[in-house]
Structure 1
């Protein structure tokens, strides 16, 4: 009886694992705007507790939703970007990034303009990731049937009924359940209103996101204010304070008028810089800024810009605006009246650009990565710090006597800003490397670069290094000494990061622990076992988590297992799979499990979200699903679907050395004892064969 019960439970477990999960149901519709203009609408209904990710979710976490409009060239034009409904923002402590996702519902819209009047349909390919306890890489193809496009523009705007995505009568095709596709009988406005309705949980998450957004904007404002204060202490700005305030107090005729002019001068500074932030948002669009910041090309451009700014601050050259600009503005500032005061403020911005430009540029780059109105908020904080002293010293001119004299300390401030700019630059280069998965700038290299930068900064502050604009030092001030000590302490704090320390103070700046030569540190010890001994890796093998020897190619892994006489742990995983990382960090790391993974099995990890393209000769169309297999991830995903009728990750199977299954597959198993029992059962079955 017990044996029968065990068999039934095993069968139920197998059935629960061997299924294709499809937690997102789609409904599509097409609305005619004009004779040859249409709006494609794609509504996603997401099962409870599952998350689907925004097009703009930052790199380094879950995979974004991507739309591809098929055969557009010569047939139709895609007008603007695909818009999407409001997403939820939440910090992921596994990947150490914010993630933007949809819960319950999502809506995407795209306007298109048809240029080929004979066109009968438009196909849209969408690729996305959806996660709960497991992550699934999904893709769909939607087919929108077009009405007849007449030569003359029709007088009445009509709406075309919902068209279901393209389907084929194949047993494993991950297509949309046509029973879920409903004809739209109501106006679009009502349909949109229905889509916008969310659960109370969803509303609470949206409110939390808004609170987080406000906190983020306040953080940008505060850092921008500190940046403006730092700019005040540079040689281009600081000497202007007493000169400008003296002008207003002496040349305005009366103290009251002088104060009024100084206040207007300060407000003019704020208006000029806020206008710059508004211009950036206006050119790129509030929503597009975040998309730009997550682009590989723009991250590399940001890196180059910041290195350029850093070189300027360190004395390699001066960044100046054309002299003709300053001359023209000075001519206007020489006149009397309110307008002249505004041009005085503009003249300050132009003349001081060699010092303020790199700071402003860095703030705009960093604010752009937040998207929305962040560049405007950043410029408000920066300009407020610049304007405030001019207004305060006009109100209290006696304070001028307490100002420190101009001198070499201002060059120290400028050079210090250069070191900070250089450190920040590598954050953007790291983002690009993470997206491309090149592993050129892994965690250890990033930390080593920061150690070198901050150690050099400390030596500079101690007076051991001089830069082009510095004067010889006979001694250093107490303030400079304290700053040198703080930078030295921070540098020493970074060093254990090379051996796997988490470095929580700079969390989010370096690549995550998993993106590392040795994810758990050089000399990592677990259960009395150290990994500092020299090991010879088998051909085609790599070090996986916890320095487990792993293969990323199925055939090569099976060949090695046959040679070694060991069972295979087949691991369907993904770079952007959160629970895959949780399993590796919290279950595989256990002292009772890690030795089994290192010594008793051959690990084959197949990444279903690997975007690297296959060679042309290796590309194919899946005979089971009918999908085009173009990337390495496509290949392993198709393998999992066709062999196990399962498309979720993580997904684990134990095979014998011939590649045949010897136990029931399991998915996400956070209980370490349960996973150990499953793993030992597979190893025992292999040994008994």
Structure 2
């Protein structure tokens, strides 16, 4: 039950051990042409199966490759010259002719020195996007720099690099000693994961489809449609065949609804990558869910344009397979006023994740469509089951209203995430719980018949199932009241990860830490403290919008045999990868990430996200790494929500190794200080 509630929100973090794809290898070179003219040459080696867009793309299509050279002492000569086997083809997604390169491509920009007698730092920036036949990677911007001194070209990047890593303010982004593939000890757990999120999304889609079948827009259509096919055909076999074909088309239509999301992902790269922690997106979903809830309450109807319904209905007259297809299409359109909010909630939940969103949407819509196809197909094969279906009635409107209350409750989750990521911390844990209690109580009043909405019957008899659900809501409200009072141990395990964190509370604040733990929020500050206290550092790559992180903190960290380890044996460094706070202007800079490439970082989250990717080739949260005060990985890192047993083994093996080898660490400390 807990897992099902969790997956209703579909707001989990990155897949475990997600690898950072780099499919284009760039080489940069400056060539002298004559006394004052040079050329900057960028050569791309493209991984097989991938392609790189040309600079000459039609407007509003893909992202063209763009090269810019900046310095005060140069003047570009002409535009960018491209060299390579250029491929031109018509893109149905864009509706235009696109141009790209596969295997390799070279981009050349000529320039002259304004003052040939002066030195020049030539900074060349390239923005590009790599795609294959299925997906596109996120657009990337790399920066290269070389210096022209007395007719000599030298590599200016070495000024930014030290033997230990890449300078960044008072610290570094790449730490060469951090090698997760070569830990100091191989003891402990070797974490293996199985990502079953697709299966659960499919199941939730199926359940959503079954619920939608019970709404007043769809349910009356079931016996009418099945009877039409089984009675209007010349023989029963043909009638059942048409009904099964009808079911197949329903499933196909719902699957086709996910196609635009695949195209968007292909056109704009990993466009969904930051949706899970986008403040504005979560506020948008909050408003959308409120809009859906009011619609379910019966105050207005969400519907598609009438011309679309009329055209689809007219197309049914074509007969044959075409007619059957448009009958299915008409059903989907006509039922939109009931299915729209359910589908919208399902898709909104998926879109607020940072997983492979287009594929998850396909699974969700496939499950939704399969529920409909299964019911129509089963009744077509066994028409006698029609007699066992319940009659249409006011119970269907009651179901819609109940779903409206569910939409209200889920809307608060999106508002909470926006509040956490923005670090306003206005929606306290107790306030969130109080609002859910209020929603549960008002729903109970409605089910007991004490409250009516526009489409409710005035003299409706309160059925037994309404009384049962109302009683469940009362008990649920009572269950949630325990979260309104402070407690040494976390409560409301059923809602773990859904509620705001324990330290976003009227009784505490984020600055107070958690369970008496005062984490550091900077790797380098944590390392400095660890050297002083001679303890290992536990790197906790986390996020304000990461529900699995909250689950770990509340129901694994808080365990009596784990909490002392976190309080006494390690220095905790909580590095928030979704922190939107901008860095100081002097820290917003381009960071060399190897092979002459640079990456711009603007926010605190950018910094720690890049730190995690560069050093650990991972971008999942939560992600835990135990390191020595001198930047050596102690044991194999672990990711995601895990059992208390696994996390305890990870901590004990790492801290035990550190204690046993403390002499070596101290020797390293003296050597470093010397």
Superposition TM-score, scaled by structure 1 size: 0.55
- 1:456-491 CA-to-partner distances (Å, cap 9, x unmatched) read 222211212111121124431111211222222222
Are residues 165 and 426 of structure 1, via their aligned partners in 2, closer, same or farther at CA, if it must alter by over 3 Å? Answer: farther
User: Contact 1:166–1:175 (CA<8 Å) still a contact in 2?
Assistant: no
Please tell me the root mean square deviation across aligned C-alpha atoms, in Å.
Answer: 5.8
Q: Higher mean Cα deviation, 441-450 or 322-331? A: 441-450
Superposition TM-score, scaled by structure 2 size: 0.56
How many angstroms does 1:519 deviate by? 5.1
User: Contact 1:364–1:375 (CA<8 Å) still a contact in 2?
Assistant: yes
Aligned counterparts, 1:217-232, within 5 A:
217-232=198-213
Q: Higher mean Cα deviation, 358-367 or 339-348? A: 358-367
Task: Verify: 1:167 aligned to 2:191, yes or no.
Answer: no
**Residues of 2 paired with 1:162 and 1:392: CA distance?**
74
From 214, 238, 243, the equivalent of 1:257 is 238
**Residues of 1 paired with 2:518 and 2:191: CA distance?**
45
How many angstroms does 1:573 deviate by? 11
Are residues 607 and 254 of structure 1, via their aligned partners in 2, closer, same or farther at CA, if it must alter by over 3 Å? Answer: closer
What residue is the counterpart of 1:326 in the other structure?
309
Q: Name the SS for the 1:445 alignment partner.
A: helix
Task: Verify: 1:442 aligned to 2:431, yes or no.
Answer: no
Aligned counterparts, 1:179-194, within 5 A:
none
- 1:624-676 CA-to-partner distances (Å, cap 9, x unmatched) read xxxx99989999xxxxxxxxxx8989xxxxxxxxxxxxxxxxxx9979xx9xx
- 1:295-330 CA-to-partner distances (Å, cap 9, x unmatched) read 222222222222221221111210010101111111
Are residues 165 and 262 of structure 1, via their aligned partners in 2, closer, same or farther at CA, if it must alter by over 3 Å? Answer: farther
What residue is the counterpart of 1:118 in the other structure?
111
- 1:596-625 CA-to-partner distances (Å, cap 9, x unmatched) read xxxxxxxxx999987635788x9999xxxx
- 1:241-270 CA-to-partner distances (Å, cap 9, x unmatched) read 111111111211211111001001011100
- 1:525-555 CA-to-partner distances (Å, cap 9, x unmatched) read xxxxxxxxxxxxxxxx965545899999xxx
**Residues of 1 paired with 2:233 and 2:420: CA distance?**
57
**Residues of 2 paired with 1:428 and 1:239: CA distance?**
34
What residue is the counterpart of 2:262 in the other structure?
281
Q: Higher mean Cα deviation, 366-375 or 340-349? A: 366-375
User: Contact 1:29–1:162 (CA<8 Å) still a contact in 2?
Assistant: no
Q: Name the SS for the 2:26 alignment partner.
A: strand
From 280, 286, 302, the equivalent of 1:297 is 280
User: Contact 2:231–2:239 (CA<8 Å) still a contact in 1?
Assistant: yes
- 1:124-147 CA-to-partner distances (Å, cap 9, x unmatched) read 99xxxxxxxxxxxxxxx9745599
Aligned counterparts, 1:43-62, within 5 A:
none
Are residues 124 and 445 of structure 1, via their aligned partners in 2, closer, same or farther at CA, if it must alter by over 3 Å? Answer: farther
Aligned counterparts, 1:533-572, within 5 A:
543-545=512-514
**Residues of 2 paired with 1:465 and 1:229: CA distance?**
27
Task: Verify: 1:307 aligned to 2:290, yes or no.
Answer: yes
Are residues 32 and 246 of structure 1, via their aligned partners in 2, closer, same or farther at CA, if it must alter by over 3 Å? Answer: farther
Are residues 349 and 479 of structure 1, via their aligned partners in 2, closer, same or farther at CA, if it must alter by over 3 Å? Answer: same
From 338, 342, 352, the equivalent of 1:359 is 342
**Residues of 2 paired with 1:365 and 1:244: CA distance?**
30
- 1:111-135 CA-to-partner distances (Å, cap 9, x unmatched) read 999796439433699xxxxxxxxxx
Are residues 476 and 340 of structure 1, via their aligned partners in 2, closer, same or farther at CA, if it must alter by over 3 Å? Answer: same
Aligned counterparts, 1:486-501, within 5 A:
486-499=472-485, 500=487, 501=490
* Structure 1: segments with no counterpart, 5+ residues: 1-25, 43-68, 78-110, 126-140, 148-160, 182-194, 521-540, 553-571, 595-604, 622-627, 636-645, 650-667, 675-689
What residue is the counterpart of 1:612 in the other structure?
581
Aligned counterparts, 1:592-611, within 5 A:
none
How many angstroms does 1:39 deviate by? 6.7
Are residues 248 and 439 of structure 1, via their aligned partners in 2, closer, same or farther at CA, if it must alter by over 3 Å? Answer: same
User: Contact 1:320–1:354 (CA<8 Å) still a contact in 2?
Assistant: yes
**Residues of 1 paired with 2:326 and 2:403: CA distance?**
28
How many angstroms does 1:425 deviate by? 1.9
**Residues of 1 paired with 2:363 and 2:420: CA distance?**
29
User: Contact 1:145–1:163 (CA<8 Å) still a contact in 2?
Assistant: yes
Aligned counterparts, 1:365-384, within 5 A:
365-368=348-351, 369=353, 370=355, 371-384=357-370
How many angstroms does 1:507 deviate by? 2.1
Q: Name the SS for the 2:315 alignment partner.
A: helix
Are residues 37 and 321 of structure 1, via their aligned partners in 2, closer, same or farther at CA, if it must alter by over 3 Å? Answer: farther
Task: Verify: 1:350 aligned to 2:336, yes or no.
Answer: no
What residue is the counterpart of 1:406 in the other structure?
392
- 1:35-59 CA-to-partner distances (Å, cap 9, x unmatched) read 98847899xxxxxxxxxxxxxxxxx
What residue is the counterpart of 2:507 in the other structure?
518
**Residues of 2 paired with 1:620 and 1:331: CA distance?**
59
Q: Name the SS for the 2:271 alignment partner.
A: helix
**Residues of 1 paired with 2:340 and 2:326: CA distance?**
18
From 471, 485, 496, the equivalent of 2:471 is 485
Structure possessing the higher relative contact order (Cα contacts under 8 Å, 6 or more residues apart): 2
Are residues 173 and 337 of structure 1, via their aligned partners in 2, closer, same or farther at CA, if it must alter by over 3 Å? Answer: closer
Are residues 465 and 264 of structure 1, via their aligned partners in 2, closer, same or farther at CA, if it must alter by over 3 Å? Answer: same
How many angstroms does 1:395 deviate by? 1.6
What residue is the counterpart of 1:243 in the other structure?
224
Are residues 40 and 430 of structure 1, via their aligned partners in 2, closer, same or farther at CA, if it must alter by over 3 Å? Answer: farther
- 1:306-364 CA-to-partner distances (Å, cap 9, x unmatched) read 22212211112100101011111111113321110100000001111000111111111
Aligned counterparts, 1:12-31, within 5 A:
30-31=26-27
What residue is the counterpart of 2:646 in the other structure?
none
What residue is the counterpart of 2:90 in the other structure?
none
User: Contact 2:541–2:575 (CA<8 Å) still a contact in 1?
Assistant: no
User: Contact 2:232–2:239 (CA<8 Å) still a contact in 1?
Assistant: yes
What residue is the counterpart of 1:472 in the other structure?
458
Equivalenced residues, count: 468
User: Contact 1:367–1:374 (CA<8 Å) still a contact in 2?
Assistant: yes
User: Contact 1:518–1:547 (CA<8 Å) still a contact in 2?
Assistant: no
User: Contact 1:608–1:634 (CA<8 Å) still a contact in 2?
Assistant: no
Are residues 516 and 243 of structure 1, via their aligned partners in 2, closer, same or farther at CA, if it must alter by over 3 Å? Answer: same
User: Contact 2:43–2:107 (CA<8 Å) still a contact in 1?
Assistant: no
What residue is the counterpart of 1:233 in the other structure?
214
Task: Verify: 1:507 aligned to 2:488, yes or no.
Answer: no
From 245, 252, 261, the equivalent of 1:271 is 252
From 379, 398, 418, the equivalent of 1:393 is 379
**Residues of 1 paired with 2:254 and 2:444: CA distance?**
32
Q: Name the SS for the 2:272 alignment partner.
A: helix
**Residues of 2 paired with 1:351 and 1:249: CA distance?**
22
- 1:555-606 CA-to-partner distances (Å, cap 9, x unmatched) read xxxxxxxxxxxxxxxxx99995799979996899989x99xxxxxxxxxx99
User: Contact 2:28–2:42 (CA<8 Å) still a contact in 1?
Assistant: yes
